[in-house]
Structure 1
Amino acid sequence: MPGFLSWISGLFSSDKPGTVSAPESRLLNSAVATENNSTTDPALIDQLEEHLFSWLLDSPPTALHSEPGQWEPILENLRGRIARRELDELPRQPMTLPKLMRALSDDTSDRNHLTEIILNDPALTEQLLQIANSPYFRPGDQSIDSVDQAVFVLGLDGIRNVISASIMRPMMAARNSREALFAQRVWRWGLTCARSAELIAKIQGQDSSVFFMTGLLPALSYITLRRELQRICRMEPGMAEPSPSLIHDALSRYQWATSQLLANEWNLPPKYHAQLLAAERPAPGQKLSPLNDGIIVGTREVLRHAHQRNMPEEDVLSIIHISGEQFTRVRKVILEVLEAGSKARA
C-alpha cells in the first residue's frame, strides 16, 4: 500500500479538483527513476513508509495490514466525503491568514505592519512566541520575548515559517488521550519534513518558505483523516475506534487528496498549488522537488533519531537531488533540532 511517498509516484492524480481516483501500487514511477538513473529497489521505499506508520501508530508492521476489501465500505465513505469536499474535520481557513499572506508577499510591507497584524490575534501571538522559541526556529540561546523581536531576529523568511507552524499547531494538538501520541509524533514528523524541504530548497535557490508550509500539509492531513475516520467509525455498529490497519489504509490512500483540500480551503496562492502538484505528479524527465526530497530526508532522520528502522544513507543519496556533502549539511541541522527537541521534552 503506497504511503507518504505518493508525492513521488503521483497518486490520486486527477485533472478535476475534488476527484479522487484509485491509488497506484508503486511509490517511485519510471519517469523519476529514469531521470535519476537510479537502481534503487522501490521495495526499500515501501519499507521506509511501513517503518513510518509503525512509529506513528505505535503498532508492529503486522498490525498495519488488512485483509483485501476489509475496510472498503468505510474507505469508500471517506473517499466520497473527500470527493464532495464534505470532510467534517477539515480545518477552516485561519482568520488572520489572508492578511498575513498579503503582508508577507508585499515587498512594501514593513516590520511594524506585520507585527500589528499578528498582535491583533492574541491566540496567534501566543502560539507564535512558543513556536519561535522552539528548537526548530530559535537561533542560538537567545530568548524571543516579543512579536517585534521575533520578526527582527528571524527575518521575513524565518517569520514566514514560524507563522505557518503557529497557524497549524493548534489544529494538530491532541483532542484526547487516544490520539495524543499520534498527534505528537505526526507534528514532529511534519516539522522535520518541512524543515528538510526548506533547507533543500535553499540549496537549490528556490523559495524556501513555500516548501516549509507545503511540507506541513501532509502532517495536518494525517490528523484530519484520523479524526474523520473516528467520526465514521462511531456510526458503525460495535466500532468506536479505527484500527491501525484502517488508519494506515486511509492515510496511505487519501493524504494527498486531503492536502489538496486544505490548500483549496485556505485559498493558498497559486505558487503553493504549483509546488504541491509538482511533488504529487512529477512530469516525465522531471527531477523530484525539494518537497519530495524533504519528505524522504525528514522521514529517515526522524525515524533514525527515534531509534526506529529507517533507510540506509546510500539509498537516501541514490534518490534525492542534492550531493552527499549537501545532504550532510541538511542532516546536521535536522539532527541538532531533533536533539534540542528531545532535551526540551525531557
Structure 2
Amino acid sequence: MPKSIDLPAARALILTRAQLRARGHTERDIERRVSDGTLRRVRNDRYVTADAWEGLWNEGRHLVEVVATHLNSAAPGPVFWGPSSAVLHGLPLYRMAPKNVHAAILGTRHGRTLAGVAWHGVPVDSADIVEIDGIRCTSLERTVLDLACTSPSAVSLSAADAALRSAAVTGHVQHPEIAEDWKERMLARAERPRRPGIRNARRTIQLADGRAQLPGESVSRLHLINLGYAVPDLQVHVVGSAGQDYWLDFGFRRSRCFGEFDGEGKYLDDDMRGVRTAEEVVLAEKRREDDIRGVTGWRTVRWGSADIRTAQSFATKLVSFGIRPPG
C-alpha cells in the first residue's frame, strides 16, 4: 500500500549516478535500468528506484521531485510555491498529482516553465519566505491561500483543514478562539492584494475546520455542504459502556446516525495497524460500533474513498442508508 514520507525520507530515496556506481552499477547498467523502468530519473542526475516510487502517495512523489529540484539548484535555491510548498509543509494534495514543480520568481512578473519547473511571476513578501530543512518555500499561511485561489475546492479545503488543525486542534478538540483568530487572519490576507480566485479562497477559509483528520473527511464535508446537508457535528464524543472515549467523524442529528470515513490505511497500512491483523482491526471496529449503538441508540454509516469521488456518488451512498438533506 502507498505511504507518506517526510522530507528526510525523501532525501534518502534520491540517488546520484556516483552513488549508483558506488553500489556496483555501471553507466550502461544505469541507462538500462532507466530504460526498463526499474530506475526513475527524477531530475538530472537524481534517481529513485521504481519500487520506492511506486510505494509513495502523490504527495510523497512530488516531495521527491521538489527535493531533487532543490539539490540541483544554486544556493539559496528556489522559493517553492503552491503545491510544491504544500508538500514541504506536510499538507495533503487530495488526488492532485502536479505535472511540474512550482516556484515563485522573485522580482519579476513573467512566468515560464523550464525543465519541469513552472516559474510563477507572483509577488511574495520576504516575511512569507521560510526555510524548511534548508529548502525555501512560501509560509504555511501563504501556501494555504495560494492553493485556495488556484486549486479545486477538494484540494484547497483539505489543505486548509490540515493547516488549521496544526494551529488550533489538540487531540480531537478544536479551540474556538484560536480557530477564529486563524480565520480572521487568513481572510485579512485574502483582501490584499485582490487576485484571481479570491472568492473561492474566502469560501475555503470560512469552511475550514481543523477537526477533519483526513482529506477524505474534508472532502466528505464539502460534498455534504454542496448537496444541501446541514453542516454535521464533527468529532462527536461518545462515552462507552465501560467509560471508553470514542470519537466519531460525523454526527447527523436528524437521522440519529454517525458517519465515519474509512481510509484504507486503517486496515492495510502496517504502521497504522501495529501488531494487529486486518481481521482484528475489523472485529475491534465492530465491537466499538456495537458499544456506541448500545449507549446512544444511533447507528453508524461508513464510507470510503470510492464513495466520495463525486458529490453524486456520495449522495447515493447516504440516501441508501436513509440519510437525506438536511441530514
| TM-score using structure 2 length | 0.25
Q: Give the number of the structure with larger relative contact order, counting CA–CA contacts within 8 Å between residues 6 or more apart.
A: 1
Q: Which has the larger radius of gyration?
A: 2
* Larger relative strand fraction: 2
| TM-score using structure 1 length | 0.24
